[in-house]
């Protein structure tokens, strides 16, 4: 995570328990990662990470489908901090 993008921004994972290794490589701005389903509901959200921090973000029982990943800090998603999570 950096200002203002996820790398990679398109992620493909198998259904079930998914483990993300998040690193905030930004320059002083805190970020998180949230997952939104196709109905617009946020189904999971990581802890907020300060610049230079990292964490393991585990999501249990993730069903097959296409989701949006995004930073839910004000203005971050609109600035381009979003991507696609495909669960197969």
Class of domain 10-87: mainly beta
Q: Six-digit token pair at 14? A: 């198998």
Q: Give tens-digit pLDDT for 34-54.
A: 999 999 999 999 999 999 999
pLDDT above 70: percentage of residues in the chain: 100
φ, ψ of residue 24 in degrees (nearest 5): -90, 100
Given pLDDT bands bounded at 50, 70 and 90, which one contains residue 77? very high
pLDDT of residue 17: 98
Given pLDDT bands bounded at 50, 70 and 90, which one contains residue 78? very high
pLDDT of residue 85: 98
- The answer to whether 71 touches 77, Cβ cutoff 8 Å, is yes
The rounded distance, in Å, linking the Cα atoms of 3 and 77 is 10
Given pLDDT bands bounded at 50, 70 and 90, which one contains residue 65? very high
DSSP category for residue 78: T
């Amino acid at each position: 995570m950096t200002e203002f993008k996820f790398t990679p921004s398109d992620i493909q994972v198998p259904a079930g328990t998914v483990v993300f290794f998040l690193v905030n490589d930004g320059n002083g701005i805190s970020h998180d990662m949230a997952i939104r389903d196709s109905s617009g509901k946020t189904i999971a959200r990581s802890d907020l990470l300060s610049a230079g921090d990292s964490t393991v973000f585990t999501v249990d029982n993730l069903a097959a489908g296409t989701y949006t990943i995004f930073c839910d800090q004000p203005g971050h998603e609109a600035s381009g901090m979003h991507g696609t999570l495909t669960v197969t």
